[in-house]
């Protein structure tokens, strides 16, 4: 019985840790979105958690197309010794490509606002970083994006977590119709000297694309 109780405790602990690792707390909101009050926690198709709100007005009968704004870094970031300006540009473009790919097949992707067109406005809004085996976690605005912490020895593994916020509005009226806030986990850096690359972020972007495709498909039906 003790072994069974211990096993159940471990399982519930793992579930709780998994959910918490994807949860975005209220104090981590960037201010990019105009309204966070309607967000609710939901499971994503890739297995993570997200905060999401979708208006009842967003229906397949009323909206048939989407227009994408370029992914912004909010507020404007500064490159660091571990993250080049080129990487920041490459990363934001990868989000653009992922969202465009996710929408195709479910919606027409267009270049101009119009009747029945949704505007998608994504932003990378911050990074949470911590060193493995350390309890302190620093929340950074994206102005200090990927300034990935400094363990005393410089050799401690470093976790990378990126925050994404997306506003979906009517392209003509600007009315907010959906909002998303979520956190993605990149691959660890080995120390405070290793350069961050798209290799560390590739799986996270793929998960975001999968989840976006699932939502676009559901909304288009």
Tokens 């101009």 -> residue: 112
Whose CA is closest to 38, among 22, 27, 50, 54? 54
In this structure, are residues 96 and 68 in contact, taking their beta carbons and an 8 Å threshold? yes
- Neighbour tally for 61: CB within 10 Å: 6
| Portion of the chain with pLDDT greater than 70, in percent | 75
Contact assessment for residue 188 and residue 133, using Cβ atoms and an 8 Å cutoff: no
pLDDT tens string 12-53:
333 333 334 566 888 888 999 999 999 999 999 888 889 999
Q: CA-to-CA distance for 154 and 150, rounded, in angstroms?
A: 6
Domain edges within the chain = 2-219
- Give the model's pLDDT for residue 130: 54
Which range, of 34-43, 52-61, 83-92, averages the lowest pLDDT? 83-92
Selected residue with higher pLDDT from 172 and 193: 172
Look at 66-75, 115-124, 158-167 and tell me which has the smallest mean pLDDT.
158-167
- Mean pLDDT score of the chain, rounded to an integer? 79
The CB-side HSE value for 193 (13 A sphere, CA atoms) comes to 4
Q: What is the pLDDT of residues 181-217, one digit of tens each?
A: 998 888 887 777 787 889 999 999 999 999 999 999 9
pLDDT at 54 over 80: yes
CB count within 10 Å of CB 4 equals: 8
pLDDT at 71 over 80: yes
The pLDDT assigned to 21 comes to: 53
């Amino acid at each position: 019985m003790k072994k069974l109780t211990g096993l159940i405790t471990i399982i519930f602990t793992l579930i709780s840790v998994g959910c918490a690792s994807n949860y975005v707390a209220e104090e981590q909101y960037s201010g990019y979105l105009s309204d966070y009050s309607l967000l609710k926690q939901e499971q994503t198709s890739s297995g993570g958690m997200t905060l999401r709100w979708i208006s009842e007005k967003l229906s397949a009968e009323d909206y048939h197309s989407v227009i994408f704004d370029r992914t912004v870094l909010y507020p404007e970031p500064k490159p660091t010794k571990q993250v080049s300006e080129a990487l920041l540009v490459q990363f934001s473009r990868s989000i653009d490509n992922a969202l465009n790919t996710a929408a195709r097949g479910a919606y027409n992707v267009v270049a101009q606002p119009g009747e029945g067109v949704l505007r998608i406005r994504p932003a990378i809004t911050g990074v949470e970083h911590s060193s493995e085996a350390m309890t302190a976690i620093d929340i950074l605005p994206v102005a200090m994006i990927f300034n990935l912490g400094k363990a005393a020895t410089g050799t401690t593994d470093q976790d990378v977590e990126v925050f994404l916020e997306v506003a979906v509005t009517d392209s003509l009226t600007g009315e907010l119709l959906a909002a998303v806030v979520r956190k993605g986990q990149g691959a660890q850096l080995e120390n405070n000297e290793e350069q961050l690359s798209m290799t560390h972020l590739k799986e996270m972007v793929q998960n975001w694309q999968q989840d976006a495709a699932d939502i676009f498909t559901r909304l288009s039906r």
